[in-house]
Amino acid sequence: MIKTGVIGYGYWGPNVVRNFNSSSDIKVLKICDKNKDRREIAGQDFPNIKIVGEADDIIRDKDISAAAIVTPVFTHYDLAKKLLLNGKHIFIEKPFTSNTKQADELIEIAERKNLTIMVDHTFLFTGAVKKIKQIIEEGILGNLYYYDSVRVNLGLFQHDINVIWDLIPHDISILNYVLGDLKPVSVNVAGCGHFKRGIEDVAYLNIKFENDFNAHFHANWLSPVKVRKTLIAGDKNMLVWNDLETDEKIKIYDRGVDIETQEGIYSSLAQYRLGGMISPKVETMEALKVETKYFADCLKNGRKPFNDGIAGRKVVRILEASDISLKNDGNAVKL
Amino acid sequence: MIKTGVIGYGYWGPNVVRNFNSSSDIKVLKICDKNKDRREIAGQDFPNIKIVGEADDIIRDKDISAAAIVTPVFTHYDLAKKLLLNGKHIFIEKPFTSNTKQADELIEIAERKNLTIMVDHTFLFTGAVKKIKQIIEEGILGNLYYYDSVRVNLGLFQHDINVIWDLIPHDISILNYVLGDLKPVSVNVAGCGHFKRGIEDVAYLNIKFENDFNAHFHANWLSPVKVRKTLIAGDKNMLVWNDLETDEKIKIYDRGVDIETQEGIYSSLAQYRLGGMISPKVETMEALKVETKYFADCLKNGRKPFNDGIAGRKVVRILEASDISLKNDGNAVKL
Amino acid sequence: MIKTGVIGYGYWGPNVVRNFNSSSDIKVLKICDKNKDRREIAGQDFPNIKIVGEADDIIRDKDISAAAIVTPVFTHYDLAKKLLLNGKHIFIEKPFTSNTKQADELIEIAERKNLTIMVDHTFLFTGAVKKIKQIIEEGILGNLYYYDSVRVNLGLFQHDINVIWDLIPHDISILNYVLGDLKPVSVNVAGCGHFKRGIEDVAYLNIKFENDFNAHFHANWLSPVKVRKTLIAGDKNMLVWNDLETDEKIKIYDRGVDIETQEGIYSSLAQYRLGGMISPKVETMEALKVETKYFADCLKNGRKPFNDGIAGRKVVRILEASDISLKNDGNAVKL
Amino acid sequence: MIKTGVIGYGYWGPNVVRNFNSSSDIKVLKICDKNKDRREIAGQDFPNIKIVGEADDIIRDKDISAAAIVTPVFTHYDLAKKLLLNGKHIFIEKPFTSNTKQADELIEIAERKNLTIMVDHTFLFTGAVKKIKQIIEEGILGNLYYYDSVRVNLGLFQHDINVIWDLIPHDISILNYVLGDLKPVSVNVAGCGHFKRGIEDVAYLNIKFENDFNAHFHANWLSPVKVRKTLIAGDKNMLVWNDLETDEKIKIYDRGVDIETQEGIYSSLAQYRLGGMISPKVETMEALKVETKYFADCLKNGRKPFNDGIAGRKVVRILEASDISLKNDGNAVKL
């Protein structure tokens, strides 16, 4: 049985506690939140778990071998470092850290002390993302052209981070996971904020990759309608993932274009392929439950998770570059 | 009766001839196309109109007082200049010219010779765009936050221009029309091409305006699904225009966010407004028919059209800047 | 504090217990289920509530003043009668009883002993249905033409009742609630069953009302797609209620037809009105929570609920007639 | 070259003339309409075709070997009989005739004089219906459970026939075509009219078939939204045809239910199959063009069309029964 503490009982913390607690491999000994009201709610939700106000109560608890950090990103580095130095494995919210320097240090400590860092990129454990990864790995899309994601809605405004740091970690972690090894080359960002200086509420992030592959992300807290839609196009087939659909989340279109190179004034001739569409079955298990089981398995078997510190650092690297691009008129930042 | 010639009988030319011809104020005397097959089709479609192979046949025709140029953009400047110098009014396809220098010269000639240039930004004559302009002018959206347009589908590939020059003129002309005086500050573009060097097939164009207003355009020839969707958000209401809907093309959402500034750790508190939605009735007349009537009215009354050479030049200015940004890693080009 | 017992802990029972238990006016003393597995789950879900296997344990409990009956319909009459005779108020699942004779007897007992019967027509407490009732009462739709409901999906198959008894009580209770006094005249039913004799899995029920108003219901356990859509048309406006939409559940269309009577071969001339559409804001509170509060209020204040035994009986009357029509080739059954 | 006349130049007539005229096998010599305005329009549309006001001008024309009847249904029998007696093949609008007696007589005459009757059930020549027929014939749906069609919109009101005679012939012809031999047993109809006595504007028609197969049709001139949706469910797969979709008109769902019969209180246990979905490519040729070619082929090769008088009579038989059911409280009419 893995004995754990959970630090942070805000929006996402209750889900972590509930899933940890209902796992047969994990027991939550303590929940920590600085806010009195949140502690009261935690006490009502989980009468059998000890509720504390100071993270140190978990950091220094000898019975606890792993802790979840479910707090704002600016607190991640400090909490994670202390936990690792006290010999705890960590399960940490995305984005991993505020910059790559912090990430590097945490990765190094964990490595040295043989501890596990799992970054909670929950989406990687959804049926949809697993299916997309499988589709791409089986070559069904062929050579990839581009990745285009729209993640927009009204709210939730964060006070310490902009809409890129809030929403885009989901998409970059998914992109990295489903694409595998593709190397990013540069980042451009456009964004604007309407309420607080330095907090963009609408933003567009573009990543150039090797081989003319391009990824683009629209993140927006000011959209009247909620959209969660991703296009992934390849030369064999093209995929649309609409995460708001109950059924038919993923559609694979037998569509594309075949170019015949010809002589003469028109140097090429495009033939459009307009075939049918397939919507594969997608599993509907709660992602955090699957991830919790995976976390326990990794700890029990000493296996390194794929969503480890290095995966988390890759996401932070893009976010870090996005800040620089934003301050420089959206100009390209080489990676 | 305005006697006209139409140069170019490819994809769009037949629509121009049909609308000109069914107008009670306009008579089409000649249709010109360099391509023999197209001339044959023109002859079958309009047995009573003279079909010619050389533009000069129209340029030098003393009976003709106005001509439509419905040819690829690289031919616009040359044809337009000759027509104007021969005293003809012109109705010219978008984009107006290949660069602003050409546009300036044509505008100057028309001015000097008291001739009319109308750039065929057909969308400005749709019921939807007219309704959107009215909504914005009546202040229903309030102060504007952003404009976001997605115009994607599979094909049509052009051989001489990229997807920006092909699709985005629609959106920039609409943006300029509905926003009125707002001044663009800079342009960033990201794009990639998969078939022919220098011909981007997927592109994202971002325009920064004064006062934190931002406009973003996604243009794409490689999308498995067709999308024509524009968001325009303001502090009072937000609008979604889905041009593929038969009914309910425009939806106005009573949604927004009210920020209360407060002291303390959270410096602001967002209150979301989630009210109802209204979809106003939109007129369904064929846009080119309305525009044709307007063209005839402008010529008859010596009135300057709002979609004149200067309006066309504004669009070309953005496209010109987009080329520079594309060649410079998507970096900002000041306007 | 109203002390209650809940009989039945299957699909819906847990929701009743959760809502009763979180009400400040109600306390659940006992949960009863005949099934051992369900009792175990109830015990885990609510460690502080006593779990029993015999309904008598609740029926004869002097501390309990009200009970919820959340069991299959064939058990309703027996349980309800015993509870009423033992002086308990009842909150009972839809459909109220298996026939009107049972309903009449229960209503009579409750009346005599001054007890409350509330039939759990949960939908009447949704924001959508309340909004529709308001729209109709304000005359926004004008004189009503028809009501058309489609409630189809794959499963859930019941073993003791057909798809009409399973799904259509929702719609009839809604119809009665939003229409008020309109009197049904006759019922026709078409249906077919593919798995078990006498258990229709696809059915169409039509109710004729006075004044050419007609109501039609499609209920289906064998549809590949889930649909929850109701049209209500009047001479002023027409309404579409799509309960599967997150936003925009209700749309009111300014559409209709104006008939001009004329002389001559065409005795009338139809003018179609094709105006805009409005989607009003709909409240999103959990319906059963609102209903629970209403139940408590009725008991505290001795107020008769609008969803009382008489309302429940009206629904049963239609279901009863539907059985007769089904056995008679779908022929009309007068009400 | 088949020389033809077209009688009736109202809503559909122009399409028939255009398609006949552009066929390489057919020449339209005369168009007839009783209405002067329609004749004028016909003259403008087709300056090379003779326009006449009396059907006799076509009926007695020795050069004409086939005629299209595109007039209201109450005129069909009289025109068709005269044409057949004068040795002309006929292409006749749906519904074929006003009753089966008329249909029988016309079929008998055509048989005797070796002439072709083709009833214009245009939908049978769409890519969607051909694909559905193929899917069913290949056994992809398995044994069929039911057919459910919704065909509703605002208008077009007819003056001489109700909404059943106007809209449902489409669906019955499709049903007969895709199902093949299945035998109808009885018909029930519910309907109501709000503007003119005897002209129902909202109607529901149900057909019972052998073997528990059921077909149901909702036809409606008073719906604020346009719907063209058909469900066809079988034990292997289920199909949804949404004719208003541009792409993805047909979706085949790998969904169903497997019943295990068991002993005990629950006599059966349903297992739901919730697999993926496939949307096959559907051809997009204009149906009337395909049908025109088929008409010419049948005449040239002396082949009997599948949409002949007998097929047309089957549709009329259902419509005739629907009138009787409507007058008898929706009671079943045996076929």
Say what the ipTM of the complex is. 0.94
- Residues of chain C neighbouring D220 (CB-CB closer than 8 A): 148
Q: What is the CA radius of gyration of chain D?
A: 22
Residue D185's alpha-carbon distances to B234, D97, D145, D188, in angstroms, are: 61, 22, 15, 11
Structural domain that includes position D162: 124-284+317-334
pLDDT of residue B268: 54
pLDDT in tens, D257-275: 877 655 544 445 677 888 9
Could you read off the pLDDT of D166-210 as tens digits, one per residue?
999 999 999 999 998 789 999 999 999 998 777 999 999 999 998
Q: Which residues contact C92 (CB under 8 A, 6 or more apart)?
A: C68, C69, C76, C80, C117, C118, C119, C120, C312
- Separation of CA B13 from chain center: 16
C9 CA: distance to closest CA in chain A (Å): 21
Domain of residue B275, CATH code: 3.30.360.10
pLDDT of residue A266: 46
Q: Which member of D146, D186, D192 has the closest CB to residue C146?
A: D192
pLDDT at position B257: 85
Domain boundary among D62, D83, D115: D115
The CA-CA-CA angle for residues D62, D298, D281, to 5°, reads 135
Q: Are residues B165 and B48 in the same domain?
A: no
Q: Which domain-ending residue is among D83, D115, D147?
A: D115
Q: Three-state DSSP class for D78?
A: helix
How large a percentage of chain D has pLDDT more than 90? 87
Provide the pLDDT confidence category of residue D155 given band limits of 50, 70 and 90. Answer: confident
A223 to chain B, any CB pair closer than 8 A? The answer is yes
Give the distance from residue C276's alpha carbon to the nearest chain A alpha carbon, in angstroms: 19
Per-residue pLDDT for C60 more than 90?
A: yes
Q: For position C260, what pLDDT does the model report?
A: 67
Q: What is the DSSP string of B110-127?
A: HHHTT--EEEE-GGGGSH
Chains in contact with D, where contact requires at least 3 CB pairs less than 8 Å apart: A, B, C
**CA–CA min distance C2, chain D (Å):** 35
Same domain, C328 and C182: yes
Summarize the confidence of residues B217-244 as an average pLDDT. 97
> For position B264, what pLDDT does the model report?
47
Whether C250 and C154 share a structural domain: yes
Predicted local confidence at residue C264, as pLDDT: 47
Instruction: Say yes or no to pLDDT of C201 above 50.
Output: yes
C-alpha torsion angle, residues B124, B130, B135, B136 (rounded to 10) = 20
User: In terms of residues, how long is chain B?
Assistant: 335
Nearest Cβ partner of A278 from D247, D274, D278?
D278
Domain-located, residue A85: yes
For the stretch A271-299, pLDDT in tens is 788 899 999 999 999 999 999 999 999 99
Chain D CB contacts of C211 under 8 Å are: none
D229 touches chain C (CB under 8 A): no
Q: Taking 60 as the threshold, does the pLDDT of residue A263 lie above it? A: no
Q: How far is C227 from chain A (nearest CA, A)?
A: 12
A304–chain C nearest CA distance, Å: 35
Specify the amino acid at residue C293: K
Residues of C in contact with B277 (CB under 8 A): 247-248, 278-279
Same domain for C139 and C255, yes or no, is yes
Q: Note whether C225 contacts A: Cβ–Cβ < 8 A.
A: yes
Kind plus residue range of the DSSP H or E element containing B206: strand B202-209
Give percent of chain D with pLDDT exceeding 70.
Answer: 97
Neighbours of chain B (3+ CB pairs under 8 A): A, C, D
Does residue D309 fall inside a structural domain?
A: no
d(CA D220, CA C145): 11
DSSP secondary structure code for residue C74 in this structure: G
Within a domain: D290: no
Are C329 and D332 in contact (CB < 8 Å)?
Answer: yes
Neighbours of A134 (CB within 10 A): 12
Which of A124-138, B270-284, C74-88, D283-297 bottoms out in mean pLDDT, i.e. has the lowest? Answer: B270-284
Pair C142, C68 in one domain: no
Nearest-CA residue of chain B relative to C277? B279
Is there a single domain that holds both residue D62 and residue D140?
Answer: no
- Band (pLDDT 50/70/90 cuts) for residue B103 is very high
Name the domain boundary from D115, D132, D153.
D115
In a domain, C41, yes or no: yes
Tell whether A226 is within 8 A of chain C (Cβ): yes
In this prediction, residue D271 carries a pLDDT of 78
- Residue C315 one-letter amino acid: V
pLDDT above 60 for C267: no
Length of chain C: 335
Whether the CB-CB separation of B172 and B315 falls below 8 Å is answered with: yes
Instruction: Check residue B269 and give its pLDDT.
Output: 61
Q: Lowest mean pLDDT of A71-80, B73-82, C143-152, D257-266, name the range.
A: D257-266
pLDDT of residue A48: 87
pLDDT value of position A264: 47
pLDDT given at position A159:
73
Of A223, A231, A331, the CB nearest to B223: A231
Of C247, C276, C280, the CB nearest to B279: C276
Query: In whole angstroms, how far apart are CA C166 and each of C126, C152, D85, D235, D307?
Result: 19, 11, 58, 22, 42
C102 and C155, same domain (yes or no): no
Interface residue of D239, D250, D254, D279 to substitute, partner A, most A CBs within 10 Å:
D279
Q: What is the DSSP string of A202-252?
A: EEEEEEEEGGG-EEEEEEESEEEEEEEEEEEEESS-EEEEETT-SS--EEE
Q: Would you place residue A260 in the very low, low, confident or very high pLDDT band (cuts 50, 70, 90)? A: low
CB-nearest partner of A224 from B202, B214, B233? B233
Which chain C positions have a beta carbon within 8 Å of A247's beta carbon? Answer: 225
Across C64-91, average pLDDT:
98
B311 in a domain, yes or no?
A: no
- What is the average pLDDT score of chain A? 94
**Residue D294: is its pLDDT beyond 90?**
yes
Over 50: is that where the pLDDT of D157 sits?
yes
pLDDT at position D71 over 90: yes
Shortest distance, CA B273 to any CA of chain C (angstroms): 11
Average pLDDT of chain C? 94
Residue C276 to residue B280, Cβ atoms within 8 A: yes
CA dist C231 and C235 (Å) reads 13
Structure confidence at residue A257 (pLDDT) = 85
Could you tell me which chains touch chain A, where touching means 3 or more CB pairs under 8 A? B, C, D
pLDDT at B142 over 90: yes
Tell me the chain D residues in contact with residue B226 when contact means C-beta distances shorter than 8 Å: 246
- What value does the mean pLDDT take over residues D33-37? 97
- Domain of D108, CATH number, reads 3.40.50.720
Assigned domain for A129 exists? yes
Co-location of D99 and D179 in the same domain: no
CA D81 from centroid of its chain's CA atoms: 21
Mean pLDDT value across residues D20-31: 95
C88: left (phi over 0), alpha (psi -120 to 50) or beta: beta
Q: What three-state secondary structure class fits A335?
A: coil
- Give the residue-averaged pLDDT of C185-200: 91
Do A184 and A240 share a structural domain? yes
D146/C330 Cβ within 8 A: no
Are residues D205 and D216 in contact, defined by beta-carbon separation less than 8 angstroms?
yes
CB count within 10 Å of CB C289 equals 16
Domain total of chain A:
2
For residue D47, the Cα-to-chain-centroid distance in whole angstroms is: 31
Q: Could you tell me which chain B residue has the CA closest to the CA of C282?
A: B276
Interval B236-286: pLDDT, tens: 999 999 999 998 999 999 998 877 655 544 445 677 888 999 999 999 999
Stretch A116-122: mean pLDDT, rounded? Answer: 98
Shortest Cα–Cα distance, A310 to chain B (Å)? 28
Which pair of structure tokens corresponds to residue B306? Answer: 């709002």
Q: Assign residue C281 a region: left if phi > 0, alpha if psi is -120 to 50, beta otherwise?
A: beta
Does one domain contain both D76 and D160? no
Whether D204 is in a domain gets the answer yes
Compute CA C296 distance to the chain's CA centroid, rounded to the nearest angstrom: 19
Least confident span in A155-169, A231-245, B227-241, C232-246: A155-169
Pair (A109, A161) in one structural domain = no
- Is the domain of B110 the same as that of B211? no
Q: Is residue A66 part of a domain?
A: yes
Please determine, for residue B72, whether its predicted confidence score (pLDDT) is greater than 90: yes
Chain C, 231 to 260: residues with Cβ < 8 Å from chain B are 247-248, 254
